[in-house]
Amino acid sequence: MEAKSEVTIKFSGELPTATPAENKKVAIELTDQNGIVFTAQVNAKSWRKAETSASEFADWAGAVSGKLGQRTENGFEVLDAGIQIFEKKAKEVKPDVGAAVAEAGASS
């Protein structure tokens, strides 16, 4: 059986450090909670867009996703990587459903 291995590394708080790479790309490194280092090259234009989004959003989270590549000395490569920044929106406080049902029943 053939399978595809894809990976998404989520982060928040600060962007990973980027260094210029060949072919209009930047190299980034992310270390997970277990000390595994994921290295990826993302399109420089996508990186600039991520930087802009991170600076514009008050609260945000990011994700680097791609194909799981070769094992490295202390982690893995992420191939064909992309990066996205998502704005974290404040969750709406929903009224207590039980209280609403009790009120509706009391008024009939």
CB burial readout 59-97, b (16+ within 10 A) else e: ebebebbbeebeeeeebbbbeebebebeeeeeeeeeeee
Report pLDDT for 53.
Answer: 95
Instruction: Tell me the three state secondary structure of residue 100.
Output: helix
Cβ atoms within 10 Å of 16's Cβ, excluding its own: 21
Q: What is the mean pLDDT of residues 15-23?
A: 95
Assess whether pLDDT exceeds 80 at residue 102: no
Instruction: For 39-53, write each residue's pLDDT tens digit.
Output: 999 999 999 999 999
* Per-residue pLDDT band at 7 (split at 50, 70, 90): very high
Candidate CATH numbers 2.40.50, 3.40.50, 3.30.70, 1.25.40; the one for domain 6-106:
2.40.50
Assess whether pLDDT exceeds 90 at residue 105: no
Instruction: For 35-89, write each residue's pLDDT tens digit.
Output: 999 999 999 999 999 999 999 999 999 999 999 999 999 999 999 999 999 999 8
Assess whether pLDDT exceeds 70 at residue 100: no
* Per-residue pLDDT band at 93 (split at 50, 70, 90): confident
Assess whether pLDDT exceeds 80 at residue 104: no
